[in-house]
Chains A and B, each alone.
Chain A
Amino acid sequence: MHIPDGFLDLWIAVVCAALAGGTLVVAARRADGELTDTTAPVLGIVAAGLFAAQMLNWPIPGGTSAHFVGGAFAAILLGPHLGALCVATVVTIQALVFGDGGLVVLGANVLNMAVIEVYVGYGLYRLLAGHNEFVAAFVAGWLGITAGAVAAALQLGASSAFAYELVTTVSIMGVGHLLLGLIEGGITAVVYRYVADARPDLFPTATTTEVAA
């Protein structure tokens, strides 16, 4: 889902950068109480852990494999604002160190993976967590990544530099990620269950009973 330079029109890249930058500024302000001079390293270290975790391949039927993206999981674990900052850091490192995704379109990649995926994933988790947390984590991972892919498809479809029509990009990327997202949802749910069993106190939504236990 990393868009390289040359795929998006300049104006779309600028609009996406403004939206992503604005959202991250708001996220940093909202997380102000949690994000101090001494807590910032925790976020950096979790971002490094997420970066490494993204590189792991998971077995899927047919002998192939898929990998974890973790935007929704970061939001569930850290809360949406810190989760967005964490994933934005990962996406930026991927561009500035490994050259994954472009520099002019960095804002668009951050918007899709660190803003839309994270906030949509978190919103769905909060909506469903009251009924079943495992299912909520699954849906957050599944539809969070699909929402990010649809946003990328909209940007690509609206760009004159990329000749495919909006309908084509949205159907290919949307349907593709709706299917691939099932794996992301599965991984998110499995990891969520393990972490929630081991450290329920870590989740911002944890009840006092869980924390005391």
Chain B
Amino acid sequence: MDALDRTVAAVSDEAQSFLVTTRTPRRDGFMQAVDPALKLVGVLSLLVVAVATDDLAILCGLAALPLGLAIGSRIAPLTLGRRIAPPALASTAVVAPQAVLQPGPTVAALGPLSLSATGLGYVAVFLVRVTASLALLSVLLLTTGFGPLVTALRRLRVPPLAITLLAVTYRSLLLFFRELERMAHARRSRTFSRGSLRSRWARSGSFLGTFLLRSLDRGERVQRAARARGGTRLRPYDRSGSPGRADAAFALLLVAVVAVRVIAA
């Protein structure tokens, strides 16, 4: 089993379980009850507030907010933590040297390196901002299925072509992960020796090329079927109801956060 086979097995399992077994958007919780369009605009507004502030107290509040929203939406904090940990750790690794690089009063010395108060302050603000942003986006994605998200985009007047592309791509993802799995299985059955790096590259090239050609062939079949049906443009439908209590509560929360940010400025 070479790198390509190992990835296909790992990625296919991971992506399929991610796409199929994500059940959190269907739970009966606070954020799940909020209208997807309001939720999308609201989270985007909170992200804008997070990106546009350097106040550590406000950023800490913004970082705590998604945790509260997750608990209210019946999402385990551990689930949220698992989702944001890898990019947050990567950001820490990127920005941590600034604690030493930035000039300012020395707080502590680590051998020849001295940690400055300015540097530590910057690192804290940056990491809390990034973590808050990651957590807010994760709460949105954990409480909203892709279907409602597309509906929200449609209601927000995103061009129909963009929506069709997103919807078709998303629908086809599982199909292609399974296709990859089948192709890797067949390739493994035919392979008897590991071969040199050059031959593995050539084999990987024909594998990926075949896969992309199959994608195109499938696309052309779908196109012919679509033409026979008279088109594929998603027809807009009205699912707007009167705002519920969850919508009102979320809107109030947004107004409160924006008001705090404005007053603090």
Provide the A43-72 mask, 1 if CB < 8 A to any CB of B, else 0. 111111111110111110100010110000
Give B17-70 interface residues, CB cut-off 8 Å to A.
18-19, 43-44, 47-48, 50-52
Q: Can you pick out 29 interface pairs between chain A and chain B where the beta carbons lie within 8 Å of each other?
A: A4-B91, A4-B134, A6-B51, A7-B130, A10-B52, A35-B161, A41-B226, A42-B216, A43-B168, A44-B172, A46-B212, A46-B216, A47-B165, A47-B169, A48-B171, A48-B172, A49-B211, A49-B212, A49-B215, A51-B176, A56-B11, A57-B7, A59-B197, A89-B166, A103-B44, A104-B133, A163-B98, A190-B201, A198-B213
Instruction: Choose among B91, B146, B169, B176 the residue with the greatest number of A CB atoms under 10 Å from its CB.
Output: B169
| Alpha-carbon separation in the docked complex, A44 to B202 (Å) | 28
For the complex of A and B, list the 10 residue pairs with the smallest distance between their C-beta atoms, beginning with the closest.
A44-B168, A49-B215, A194-B209, A190-B205, A5-B133, A48-B172, A45-B219, A42-B219, A6-B130, A57-B7
The answer to whether A5 and B137 touch (CB under 8 A), given A59-B4, A103-B43, is: yes
| B218 x A45 contact (CB < 8 A) | yes
Q: Whole-angstrom distance from the CB of B43 to the nearest CB of chain A? A: 7
For the A-B complex, the count of residue pairs with Cβ-Cβ distances under 8 Å equals 227
| A194 x B223 contact (CB < 8 A) | no
| B204 x A59 contact (CB < 8 A) | yes
B188 within 8 A of A: no
| Alpha-carbon separation in the docked complex, A8 to B238 (Å) | 37
The answer to whether A104 and B197 touch (CB under 8 A), given A37-B231, A193-B205, is: no
A18 within 8 A of B: no
Provide the A1-22 mask, 1 if CB < 8 A to any CB of B, else 0. 0001111111001000000000
Q: For residue B172, which residues in chain A have a CB less than 8 angstroms away from its CB?
A: 44-45, 48-49
| Alpha-carbon separation in the docked complex, A104 to B140 (Å) | 13
Q: For residue A51, which residues in chain B have a CB less than 8 angstroms away from its CB?
A: 169, 173, 176
| Alpha-carbon separation in the docked complex, A124 to B78 (Å) | 47
| A58 x B204 contact (CB < 8 A) | yes
| B223 x A39 contact (CB < 8 A) | yes
Q: Whole-angstrom distance from the CB of B183 to the nearest CB of chain A? A: 10
| Alpha-carbon separation in the docked complex, A97 to B209 (Å) | 26
The answer to whether A194 and B232 touch (CB under 8 A), given A48-B172, A103-B47, is: no
| A57 x B146 contact (CB < 8 A) | no
Give B185-229 interface residues, CB cut-off 8 Å to A.
197, 200-202, 204-206, 208-216, 218-220, 222-223, 226-227
| B134 x A93 contact (CB < 8 A) | no
Instruction: Choose among B141, B168, B200 the residue with the greatest number of A CB atoms under 10 Å from its CB.
Output: B168
| A38 x B165 contact (CB < 8 A) | no
| A56 x B137 contact (CB < 8 A) | no
Interface residues, chain A, CB within 8 Å of chain B?
Answer: 4-10, 13, 28, 35, 37-53, 55-59, 61, 65, 67-68, 77, 85, 89-90, 92-93, 96-99, 102-104, 161-164, 186-187, 190-191, 193-195, 198-199, 202
The answer to whether A56 and B7 touch (CB under 8 A), given A98-B18, A198-B213, is: yes
| Alpha-carbon separation in the docked complex, A184 to B100 (Å) | 35
| Alpha-carbon separation in the docked complex, A42 to B73 (Å) | 37
Q: For residue B134, which residues in chain A have a CB less than 8 angstroms away from its CB?
A: 4-6, 99
Residue in A43, A187, A193 whose beta carbon sits within 8 Å of that of B165 in the complex? A43
| Alpha-carbon separation in the docked complex, A49 to B211 (Å) | 8
Q: For residue B164, which residues in chain A have a CB less than 8 angstroms away from its CB?
A: 40-41, 44
Q: For residue B137, which residues in chain A have a CB less than 8 angstroms away from its CB?
A: 5, 99, 102-103
| A38 x B215 contact (CB < 8 A) | no
| Alpha-carbon separation in the docked complex, A98 to B211 (Å) | 22
Q: Which chain A residue shows the least CB distance to B174?
A: A48
Q: Which chain A residue shows the least CB distance to B202?
A: A190
| A46 x B219 contact (CB < 8 A) | yes
The answer to whether A57 and B50 touch (CB under 8 A), given A48-B172, A51-B173, A194-B205, is: no
Instruction: Choose among B44, B51, B126, B172 the residue with the greatest number of A CB atoms under 10 Å from its CB.
Output: B51
Q: Which chain A residue shows the least CB distance to B220?
A: A42
Q: For residue B3, which residues in chain A have a CB less than 8 angstroms away from its CB?
A: 57-59, 65
